Structure 1
Amino acid sequence: MKKNNHPILSKVRVWLVITRIMVIVALLFICFPPSMKVWEQSDSIPSEYTPFEYLLKEIDQDLFLLLIITVLIFVLSELTKELEKIQTDPKITVDSQEFRN
Structure 2
Amino acid sequence: MAGKIAKYVTVGTNDLNKAKEFYDKLFEELSARSFAPNERSFFYTLKDDDTVFAIFVPYDGNPATVGNGNMTGITLDSTKRLMLCMLRLLS
TM-score (ref. length: structure 1): 0.27
Q: What TM-score does the superposition give when structure 2 sets the normalisation length?
A: 0.30
Question: Which structure carries more strand by proportion?
Answer: 2
Greater relative contact order (Cα < 8 A, sep 6+): 1
| Structure ID, larger Rg | 1
Greater percentage in helix: 1
